[in-house]
Amino acid sequence: MLNESTSTCNQLLDNTNMERDMDKDMERDMEKDMEKDVELEKSSQDPFAGEEVGGVRYRTMKWWNCAILMIAQSVSLGVLSLPSSMAVLGLVPGCIIIVGIGALTTYTGYVVGQFKLRYPQVHNMADAAEILGGPWCREITNVAQVICFIFLMGAHVLTFSIMMNTLTNHGACTIVFCVVGTILCFILTLSRRLEEVSYLGIISSLSIFTAVMITMIAIGIDMPDPRTYAVTHPTLMNGFSATLNIVLAYSGHMSFFSFQSELADPRDYPKALIAFQVTDTSLYLVTAIVIYRYAGPNVLSPALLSASELVSKIAFGISIGTIVIAGVVICHVGAKCIYVRMFRGTHMMSERSFRSYGSWVLITFIMWVIAWLIANAIPVFNDLLNMIAAAFCSWFSFGLEGLFWLKMNHGQYLSSKRKMALTALNIFLVALCFLICGMGLWATGTSIRINAQNTHKPFSCANNA
């Protein structure tokens, strides 16, 4: 009996221990599930949700702040290359392409806004790409968008050096002017909030508008003898290069997710988009037509160089606002992509600590150093812009937006005539992206090779104006 009692007690103890172990396992499983739920909840939220507990608030912009940022970023270098594109393509084809691409990018910009409302966690193109194709797609897109931002920053550094060479009659080495422009842009990128940068955007917008108006008026007054412009016959390479300039002028889409994320009410985004697209399309069309008409087929790029020497200096002096600030806006958005990726879901993003702000400063500093290297490595204005447009803007302005719409409307492609038409349009956008990317890279690579063999050497002190 004693042995049986002992055996029974041992069995009860074993059962009790097993139950305790099972309870512990269940508790651990529950904790893991709760952690997964928390991570899932964080990943499905706006990246700035709950920011009121921190020291820096990001979601403070009104729709007009957003519109100013869009204008400041896009209506800068793009508009300066359009008259030369018109000279290559011809007046009528040039106008058709400017208006056509403007209409397409208005639609794709609207798709970006709808995708953001559907998936609030999206802060940039990499976040959106993860929804399309998973983590590997996110990483590829993240690298691509950061490279694109840095190349655009390099274009602004290059334009700054052209401006300084024009104002000073090549008073110093071009590399030195690039250094000065890089330092100035870096200093203005130190703020972490887009709302603060948007006030600089007002200066940028007024700067480029004034500079372009002065150039148009001056060229009109100094108009040469009336001339007849024959129908142009551009080569395949020249035609694609000219079209890429126009594509770049409408290529602000990779920043639109970031802009919408810092709106006080993300539903106000369409107001900003319409204000931006009406402004830039009108300015692009008028600027390209007027300067091409009066400067003639040999119009220069940037277009400010097409006026007399004195007017060019005045115009460049005024345009310094947009040359610098538009680059600042681009760097801010690119740095914010990295910054949010590092600190998303933590209080570090909004803290005023040394580590938090120091990380922001370090990110922007590294980006501007690389931009300076690119500005000196590709010293031809149009070639640098065309490379950016072909490799990156084709995807960020057309291809990905087509895929966004197809993702949001999966299973409804043939549900109505309207859906069928939109399905065809978005498939066309993806196909257009492949065409622009492939042919554009070929045309740009050929142009860079030709220019490198002639007069434009990388890392040269020579006058690039």
Whether the predicted pLDDT of 169 surpasses 60: yes
pLDDT grade, residue 300 (50/70/90)?
A: confident
Q: What is the pLDDT of residue 361?
A: 95
Least Cα distance to 446 among 240, 245, 297 occurs for 240
Considering the chain, what percentage of its residues have pLDDT values greater than 70? Answer: 83
Identify any residues that bridge with 61 across adjacent strands, giving them in sequence order: 263
Q: What is the rounded average pLDDT of the residues 405-432?
A: 94
Q: What is the pLDDT of residue 446?
A: 80
Which ranges constitute the DSSP H helices of 44-124? 63-74, 77-89, 91-118
Least Cα distance to 206 among 318, 344, 343 occurs for 318
Give every CB contact of residue 53 below 8 A, 6+ residues apart in sequence: 347, 350
Q: What is the pLDDT of residue 38?
A: 40
**Please, are residues 463 and 413 in contact by the beta-carbon 8 Å criterion?**
no
Task: Kindly report the backbone phi and psi dihedral angles of residue 234, in degrees, each rounded to the nearest multiple of 5, phi listed first.
Answer: -70, 150
Least-confidence region, from 81-90, 215-224, 356-365 = 215-224
pLDDT per residue over 251-297, tens digit each? 889 899 999 998 989 999 999 999 999 999 999 999 999 888 888 78
Candidate CATH numbers 1.10.4160.10, 3.90.230.10, 3.20.20.70, 3.40.109.10; the one for domain 53-383 = 1.10.4160.10
Considering the chain, what percentage of its residues have pLDDT values greater than 90? Answer: 37
Give pTM, 2 decimals: 0.81
Question: CA-to-CA distance for 267 and 16, rounded, in angstroms?
Answer: 58
Q: 3-state DSSP call for residue 61?
A: strand
Tell me the one-letter amino acid at 144.
A
Q: What is the pLDDT of residue 28?
A: 58
Which ranges constitute the DSSP H helices of 222-268? 236-249, 256-261
